[in-house]
Amino acid sequence: MLQLILTALQFALTVQAHGYMNSPAGLANKQTYGAVRGFNDDNPDKLEGPGNPKILCHGLPKSRVVPVSFGGNGASHSIGLTISAKHPGPCSAELIDSASGKIVEIGSGNNCVVQAGSSFDWTFTLKNMEQVTCSDCILRFVWSSTDLIPKEYYQSCSDIQLIKGGGGSTTPDQPKPPAPKPNPTSQKPKPPTQKPTAPPAPAPSTKSRKPKPTQQTKTVATTTVETKEPSVPQPQPQPPTTGATHTVADCKVANQFLCAEQCGKTIIQCTGVGAGVSLAPLDAGDAVCNNGWIDFKNNCVA
């Protein structure tokens, strides 16, 4: 009987074992929030649940590409996490070259998901940044459990444009060689230069001279007329959509995002003028549509 209870408890823990990365640059970065493979997918278990570690990113399609800045070795970096079952175990962050598949582990830790709250940042110290050569990269968060038998393996992926910044430890600068000292014996003294003597000024004449009549000059005022080319009106940026209900008929250009309902869960992705598709409703509890972007619910004004 005890074995049955333990088996049922183990199954319950496995079913509830969900967790994923929600932002490759921390919760505070609204530009990167939700830029994760499978974030708006119809099958959230692929994003949140355990999977085969040999299948990269659960086989999910490429996400929205966002720029993410990284410092050097020794600098800190944060990623946002949403965890519903906080199993202890090792965590790591990896940068994967999208073209070659080269994997570089840039951060690691233990029990990174055992924190207060359901959404939080995991901050780690960067390492091996000198081995990273990609600019179009995949940032993968990897986490495995140690309290379950068998162990479970979780991974979340974000497609990023890597921007390398300063900070952190770097290779120490090499001392500059001293400047060569001049050799006094190799330089010959230059002969002094003589300044040319100015000719003597002519002596003043003793004869009286009659003054010459002065000529009056007239100044004619001229006016310069500047010709200006007609100004060409510049296109004005479209104002962001405000708290209103939208349909695909409101689409103006392709890749425009509209809120089907301000502060709601459904986003419309435009494919052209008057045409578009409705994306899957946002599955995160605090994620809503705010003027065509994914935002925190407490930041949205209806």
How does pLDDT run across 146-171, given as a tens digit for each residue? 888 888 888 999 999 999 875 443 33
Question: Helix, strand, coil proportions of the chain in percent (round to 5)?
Answer: 10, 25, 60
Cβ 243 vs Cβ 226: under 8 Å: no
How many whole angstroms separate alpha carbon 128 and alpha carbon 105? Answer: 7
- Tell me the pTM: 0.51
Quick check: bond before 150 cis, omega within 30?
yes
How many whole angstroms separate alpha carbon 253 and alpha carbon 255? Answer: 7
**Choice between 255 and 224, residue whose per-residue pLDDT is larger:** 255
Residue type, 276: G
**Structure token pair of residue 142:** 């990897």
How many whole angstroms separate alpha carbon 299 and alpha carbon 290? Answer: 8
Instruction: Name the band, by pLDDT with cuts 50, 70 and 90, for residue 229.
Output: low
**Structure token pair of residue 61:** 């399609």
Strand partners, 278: 268
How does pLDDT run across 47-84, given as a tens digit for each residue? 777 878 889 998 999 999 999 999 999 999 999 999 98
pLDDT for residue 295: 81
How does pLDDT run across 183-218, given as a tens digit for each residue? 555 555 565 555 556 656 655 555 545 555 555 545
Q: Are strands 119-125 and 293-296 parallel, antiparallel or unpaired?
A: unpaired
Cβ 271 vs Cβ 251: under 8 Å: yes
| pLDDT over 70 (residue 2) | no
Q: Under DSSP, is residue 196 helix (H, G, I), strand (E, B) or coil?
A: coil
How does pLDDT run across 5-50, given as a tens digit for each residue? 334 334 333 344 478 999 999 999 999 999 999 998 766 667 777 8
Which residues have a Cβ under 8 Å from the Cβ of 169 and sit 6 or more positions away? 72, 73, 74
**Structure token pair of residue 282:** 């946002």
**Choice between 235 and 282, residue whose per-residue pLDDT is larger:** 282
Minimal CA–CA distance to 57: which of 122, 117, 142, 124?
Answer: 142
How many whole angstroms separate alpha carbon 14 and alpha carbon 176? Answer: 60
Minimal CA–CA distance to 93: which of 65, 67, 81, 83?
Answer: 81
Q: Are strands 153-164 and 66-70 parallel, antiparallel or unpaired?
A: parallel
Which residues have a Cβ under 8 Å from the Cβ of 246 and sit 6 or more positions away? 258, 259, 260, 268
What is the torsion angle, in degrees rounded to the nearest 10, for the CA atoms of residue 34, residue 13, residue 122 and residue 57? Answer: -50
Other Cβ atoms less than 10 A from the Cβ of 159: the count is 21
Which residues have a Cβ under 8 Å from the Cβ of 233 and sit 6 or more positions away? none
How does pLDDT run across 230-267, given as a tens digit for each residue? 554 454 444 455 557 889 898 988 878 888 888 888 88
pLDDT for residue 256: 85
How does pLDDT run across 97-145, given as a tens digit for each residue? 999 999 999 999 999 988 988 899 999 999 999 999 999 999 999 988 8
